[in-house]
Amino acid sequence: VVTIRSDGKAGDVSANFTGRLSVLSSTKQTASLSISRVIFADDKANGEFTCEVLTLNSERWKRAIQVQVLAPVKITDQVRGDQVVTEGGDLHLFCKVTGRPAPSITWTKVPTGVSTEIKHYGPTWDFTNVSVADSGTYSCVADNKVEDPVRGQAVKVIVFAHVSISATHDEYIVVVGESVTLNCKAKGNPLPSYTWTPCGQDQVCNKNTFVIPQVSKDANYTCEAANEYSNDSKSYRVFIGGSLINVTLFSESESCANGGYDLASLLKRLSEMMNKVFAGTPSYESVYLIDFRCGSVIVDLALKFTIPTKEQAVITILRNAAVVGRLEDFSVRGFNENAVGPTTPSSSLDESSELQNETKAVTIWIIVGAVFGSVAALAAAGILVWWACRKRRLNRKGTEGAAIRGSTNRKSSNERRGNTNIAIELPKPSQSHYMALDDRSRSQAIANTIQNNSPHRAEQISEYTSLNAYTCPWEISREHVMIKQIVGKGAFGQVAKATAVGLQGRPKKALVADKMLK
């Protein structure tokens, strides 16, 4: 590099050190050499410096001097930006650094911005079969003890998993008017958001559960789960149904007046009919009577099943049976449906509405007829009383001979009046006690019938009929009447509270009013 003579003067400097080397001092005992602007070439890795002394006695003395060049850590290149990888894929992270001595490189996972345990050593990190658990923020740290460790730029690793909705219950059978909650459970990374359709204004549509507060019809709902990378959807079906299915059978070819129809015979026939129609349905159990209306024969029934059953499935079975004549001349109307005839299983809305209007009209005429019948009964009673009084006055105005005969006649008349005292139970104007089986009344009707343990089974039909002007006479024989108490007096006679036996359509004794003429 340089030669220092005994007089302290230095010779020529090697070209590699020109401008960087200077002799600080030189005596017979010591010599000092200074190297400025040290470079990596000066490091011991590239060779040793040697101090060689030549004595006056021509002896040589050598000593090796090693120079270690130090340099702080510097990161020259690294992976940058968010790293997005599909679950199950591969991932490569790298961090290039310089420094003397060579730095050590470690990798840490910083999920919350705070360093945690070391996960990997080395300038590169290769992942295979990446899982969602590998998601997080990573950074490299380089250190060679010269200065403080240097941390590289944080790298966010996003392992996305395709959104997938789990296999859950997707079919619900609900009693009309009740609520139901649909469940949609999805997996994915990032966590998916939810959207339900259709969705009402008052419903929460962005949760994994969806509440229908009051089911009124069969409907389909869709749950869509999505994140920024993928999405999935699933359909859910809600059906009106339950263990009791309400149906209405009606026949326009048959007619009846209130109290004038053999219900026992009808429902026995219907029970046998249903047993045949549902012979291929193991869950079918029995049939109950909910209501009966006259005019056209209209029967509201409840079909009982051992498991929850879709109402529309039951209606379809009955409709198909009607098409092939297995319901005879009956047509079928189901929950929230219009009338369906045996030969027109897909009748239009207009036709169904017209049939409903006709049924309502028949009910109205029945009520009107009952009212007029009651008025007619009152008029007949008044005429009879007037006729009896007039005859009595005529008998008093007869001749003496006629009086004698009248005496006999009055005796007979008295006997006759004793045998023909009139017991009248005036029927109240009939009122319709029937209502359409709509969403609420249908459920209430079956609840009242079944839950109160008083269902009218097809084989347990009441034989009672109402006492009105059409079906029962208001005149009865004297021997069938027992006077209990005089309750009033008038110009034509007395009115008594009595009991009667043998009234048509009434069991045992019945309470009646008895008008006794003077």
What CA–CA distances, in Å, run from 250 to 270, 350, 462? 11, 18, 20
Helix (H, G, I), strand (E, B) or coil at 33: strand
Is there a binding annotation on residue 185?
no
Q: How far apart are CA 306 and CA 130, in angstroms?
A: 51
Which residue's structure tokens are 């549902």?
278
What CA–CA distances, in Å, run from 114 to 26, 117, 138, 185, 414? 56, 10, 11, 33, 119
End-to-end, the C-alpha distance of the chain in Å comes to 164
What CA–CA distances, in Å, run from 119 to 104, 116, 373, 431? 14, 9, 98, 86
Neighbours of 212 (CB within 10 A): 20
What CA–CA distances, in Å, run from 37 to 17, 21, 34? 10, 9, 10
Q: How far apart are CA 411 and CA 244, in angstroms?
A: 67
What is the CA angle 491-493-499, rounded to 5? Answer: 145
DSSP 341: B
Binding residues: 509
Binding residues for ATP: 509
